[in-house]
Amino acid sequence: MNKAELIEIAAKEADISKAAAGKALDGIMAAVVKAVSKGDTVTLVGFGTFKSAKRAARTGKNPKTGATIKIPATTVPKFSAGSGFKLAVSGKKAKK
């Protein structure tokens, strides 16, 4: 599924125009990116958590030449799926 297909489904489910759904999706994505880039965590209960994680500097190998290279430390985004999302994907039902 791509962004256009997601907008179409969201518009249909929420009974709003595709333009409104597109603006809403763009706003949500911008808010998540802004928060995570500042180091904040964004939790959507049942869906998942977006956060940033620091990756330490390390050495690696150039696969073409075999030469050892230094890979610098960096900060990367991470997503952890929530329990409701995991259950939906696995096809299992929630325990009562």
Q: Which CATH architecture has domain 39-95?
A: Irregular (4.10)
Confidence of residue 95 (pLDDT cuts 50, 70, 90): low
Sign, CA torsion 30/33/37/40: positive
Instruction: State yes or no: pLDDT of 63 exceeds 90.
Output: yes
* Contact assessment for residue 55 and residue 75, using Cβ atoms and an 8 Å cutoff: yes
Structural domain spans, the chain = 1-38, 39-95
Evaluate if residue 17 carries a pLDDT over 70: yes
- If pLDDT is split at 50, 70 and 90, which confidence band does 96 have? low
Determine contact, residues 60/29, Cβ cutoff 8 Å. Answer: no
Q: What is the CA angle 13-15-21, rounded to 5?
A: 80
Q: What is the pTM of this model?
A: 0.80
